[in-house]
Structure formats: structure tokens, C-alpha cells
Amino acid sequence: PTREEITYFGAGPASLPTTVLQNASSAILNFQNTGLGLAEHSHRSALSNDILAATENSLRSLLSIPEDYAVLFMQGGGTTQFSAVAYNLLGYWVQTQLNKANGDIEVVREKLKKAKMDYVVTGGWSQKGSEEAKRLFGDGIVNVVTDSKKGFGEYCGIEEEKKWKRTAGEDNVFTYYCDNETVDGVEFPGFPKSLEGGVVAADMSSNILSRRVDVSKFHIIFAGAQKNIGTTGLTIVILKSAILQTQPTPATLRALYLPIPPIMMSYPILAKNNSLYNTLPIFDVWIAGEVMKELVAAGGLAKQEDVANRKAGKIYAAVARAPGIFKVVPLEGARSRMNICVRAQPAELEGVFLKGAEERGLLGLKGHRSVGGIRISNCMPCFTSLFSCILWLTWKPADNSIT
């Protein structure tokens, strides 16, 4: 099967390489002449195990994942990880404190009163993560280290780290941030220096595989697959193995009046079962593996980083050439290479512009429903022609386009 080369700028689900989709269309019908489509094969078959292993190996090689890190394949999207990260990292903290206190539960109960989960809120997704932690564990344990909306009036930047109100020492359960805020177009230029050496979890749903990352700086990295890796239905979690080994029993959690994680959010249980505690969508794992194979063959993440930087640079430059019409929302220094968020002036032009873009076959440019505007997504597996995007940005409204 074939289709026209499309020009799609959606943030996610994002467009996938045509070759992967073509192979997928025959894989779903009859996988490697087995007579069964890949979505029909058992997740416990040797074939599925090979797919899991190959996908994990490609991910390990792309991100140079250290040996003392585990990789989990999960479902439930990034949103499930908002809960899973908090459950598992609180468990890790509790058991670490309990070990230090030679098992004295009273000592940990006292320490819990001062414990804080630090959230760096730079956009809608980290905000949602912090809200989920509050919902599960109460407002008192969540410390919003910085809130860009308060600092800047909207999610358009990252406050200087020296202004962050971090929790010091062992009272800090973990620090959480979102590396790339897909809705707001705000991306961290690199690992925040003040978080070095701490227990850090990062949501990389929309910029994973777009640049090199020092995995050893993180305790957890997670990403829903549907933006930079593959299809919706798969979530990838990379985590320090110590988290798996250092967890309290349900009885300990009960004694501390803490909730017990639902079984599908328990990282140790999933890891023990090679991500197959329940039925995993192997088809989605295979797609992710195929995309990763392409990225490896194309030169790995050094290459992807270069491509992403150049593509984003060109788009921002094209926007800057039309200052009377377009305005980039995020401030310089925090501008995403993946999701370029732009407003047109006057605001009515946005509708005219989006309609014109659609008529020219340039799709998926509407900003997220919560913020509006225009969003040009530059997701990694999407090989949408940059040329057409630049051409489109030279668009000028006709004098009679607003009535």
C-alpha cells in the first residue's frame, strides 16, 4: 500500500516514517509469513520476546543507557506515569529511610511529616503531574519549586534556578520536571544544574530521542511513544534498578497510612515479569523498534540532535522574518525544538491562516485546545518536509482576508 507524502505537523500522535508504516501494514496482516498478523500473536511467544529484546537493545544503544538501569514497556500513556512515578519514588524514599533507621517505622513516620515531592512547573504537563501527586498524597507533601505561570503570567519560560524553592537534603523525596512542554513550547536547554546528584524524574514524552541525554543523571525518564517513538498505546520507562530493589512491602505502606500502588503501576512487579505482567501491545513495541532501527541507521542521537536543532532554527528564523504577523510565545532560552508555538497578530488571522494552510495540505498546525494559536511540531520520526513549512511561513494574508 502507498499514500501521498503528507505534510503533517501534529504534536502527537505524530506522523511516522512511511517505510515503517508500509512494513507495519503487511506485519499486521501476516507477520514474517507466520500466517498470523503481529497483533494476533501471543505476547508470551518467542517471537514477542525477541521483539521486546530487540526494541530494548535499540533504545539502550541510542541513549547509551547504563547497565544499572532497567527499561519497562508499559501502557496508560504519560498520564499513568504521573501517578506511577510518585508512587514508586515515594516507595523508594520510604524504604531508604527505613533502612537507615534500622527498620524503625516511627522514625520514618516522623520524617514523612517533613518530606516533600518537588515539582518544577513550566507548563501544562508538569502542572498536571503536580496535581496528580497532590490528589494521591495530599497537598502538604507537594512543593512547587517554581511555577512559570506565576513568574511570567503564562507558561512561556523557565525561571532562573537560583529562584527555585527546592527542598533540601533527605526531606526531598524527588524532583520532577517535564523536559519539553508540548502544549506551551517550552523546553529545557539541558539538565538543570541545581538538580545534579538528586533523585530526579523527567517526562520526556515529546523530546525523547531528539538529543543525547546523560541517563545517569536521572532516576526515572518516561515517555509516551506516540510523539517521538511510535504509536499510541506504548509508554517507555527507563529507571535506576535501585528503585526496583528498594521498595516497602504493602504492610509497611499501610503502617505509614500511605496508599499502595495499583499493581499495573508497580515498577518492581512489571520488571520482574519482563514488562509482561499483563497483555502488552507487542505490535506497538515492534513499531517503536522499527523507528529506532531507522534512527540508529541514520546516525543515532548525535545526528537527530543536529537535525532537530537545524530544523527548529530554520522555523524560528522564518517566524522572525514576519514580525508583524507572527510572534513566538516562549522566551528565548526556553524555546522548544520540538513544538514551536506561535501566535498571529491580530488574533483573527490565526483562523484565516490555519484554513489557508489546510487548503495547501499543511495539516496539524492548530495549537493545543487549552492555549490556541499555532503549533508547528517537529517530532523526531516525522520526516515532514521542512521546505513546505518554511514556504508556508512566508505566507502573507491577503488584504481582504479579514473582514
- Smallest distance from ligand PLP to CB 182, Å: 3
- Smallest distance from ligand PLP to CB 178, Å: 5
Residue showing the smallest CB distance to ligand PLP in the complex? 77
Cβ closer to ligand PLP: 69 or 125?
125
Integer angstrom CA distances of residue 96 from 81, 102, 142, 221, 298: 22, 10, 19, 20, 42
Cβ closer to ligand PLP: 167 or 275?
275
Label residue 388 exposed, middle or buried (CB < 10 Å: 0-12, 13-18, 19+): middle
Q: Give the bridge partners for 240, in sequence order.
A: 69
The residue assigned the cell 513499531 is 287
**What string of DSSP letters covers 353-390?**
HHHHHHHTTEES-BPPTTT-SEEEE--TT----HHHHH
- Smallest distance from ligand PLP to CB 273, Å: 22
The residue assigned the cell 538529543 is 211
- Smallest distance from ligand PLP to CB 183, Å: 7
Cβ closer to ligand PLP: 77 or 281?
77
Cβ closer to ligand PLP: 158 or 349?
158
- Smallest distance from ligand PLP to CB 49, Å: 25
Query: Which H or E run includes 328?
Result: strand 326-328
Contact 268/244 with Cβ under 8 angstroms?
A: yes
Binding site for ligand PLP (CB under 6 A): 12, 77-79, 125, 178, 182, 203, 205-206, 224
Cβ closer to ligand PLP: 7 or 205?
205
Count Cβ neighbours within 10 Å for each residue of 192-204 and write b for 16 or more, e otherwise. Answer: beebeebbbbbbb
Cβ closer to ligand PLP: 283 or 392?
283
- Smallest distance from ligand PLP to CB 250, Å: 26
Cell of 84: 506511577
